[in-house]
Amino acid sequence: MPEVNSSGGARIRYDDVGRGGPALLFIPGWCTTRAAFRPLLPRCAARRRVLSVDLRGHGESEGGGTDFDSATVLEDLLTVVEASGAQQVVPVAMSHAGWWALELRRELGAERVPRLVVMDWIISEPPLAFTEALRGLMSERWAEAREGLFRMWLEGVEDENLIRFFREEMASFGEEMWARAAREIASAYAREGSPLRALFGLRPPTPTLHLYAQPESHDYLANQVAFSVNNPWFHVMKLPAISHVPMMEVPDLVAAGIEAFVSAQQTYMNTALDTPGAAPS
């Protein structure tokens, strides 16, 4: 398994499979591991190179022995990209790992990060219930707040693999990591407002695909479609899945959506980039 030495002496481990560019960079969210991408990995690697990372302090990557933040994780990801030798990467980010995808685009530029794929991200400003959950994770009530999230994420889910993913894998992370995750996610929303607003600020605009299954809210989808009408570089795909990890439920659809988006004709993308956009409301 490839690994790189990053700051603080932490060894960051990742998979490197498949051939062809631009390479996909799978980035798990906080309190998850690259195992979440396991069903997707062979499907995407059949078409192009895939780098699938365990975050610092997660899975098979080391933590470095001290507290760390989103900037440290970004440094780790940049180290992986440079060590891989990939000339271009398309981040495929799970949930709030979308913030790292955004920062990779800012750091490496549009030439090296030509597209972004984000999955199950709260793409608008965060709802009050989510903000309160983040506060709870940073308090002595952290276990209660985490349980509330698990109940919400598992509503209607009967698949044993998905239940195991939440109840065993995500639950294996303790108070320190959940509090760190809440701190960093809250900080990102406070700084940027919303992912849509942050993506709108990229110059030149970067073609972005949002793949998600939940929530079922009509307004949530309608607002994204309306944004895409005014900003044709943004694409949204609602998936027929029950959980917040659609790449584990419908990996064939997710892989097909990613490949179609990444391999889209450059002339089409150039046309989209030349079209004036409108800021999110």
Which residues, at least 6 apart from 31, have a Cβ–Cβ distance to it below 8 Å?
A: 58, 170, 173, 177, 178, 181
Report yes or no: 200 and 280 within 8 Å, Cβ to Cβ.
Answer: yes
User: CB burial class (10 A; 0-12, 13-18, 19+) of residue 151?
Assistant: exposed
Q: What is the dihedral of CA 126, 127, 131, 134, to 10 degrees?
A: -80
Give the orientation angle of helix 70-84 with respect to helix 175-192, to 10 degrees. Answer: 90
Q: Strands, DSSP E only, in the chain?
A: 3-5, 11-17, 23-27, 50-53, 89-94, 116-119, 208-212, 234-238
* Separation in Å, CA 47 to CA 29, 92, 149, 210: 24, 15, 35, 20
Q: How far is CA 190 from the centre of its chain?
A: 18
Give the residue numbers marked as catalytic: 244
N-terminal to C-terminal alpha carbon distance within the chain? 45
- Rounded Cα distance between 90 and 25, Å, is 6
Report yes or no: 177 and 221 within 8 Å, Cβ to Cβ.
Answer: no
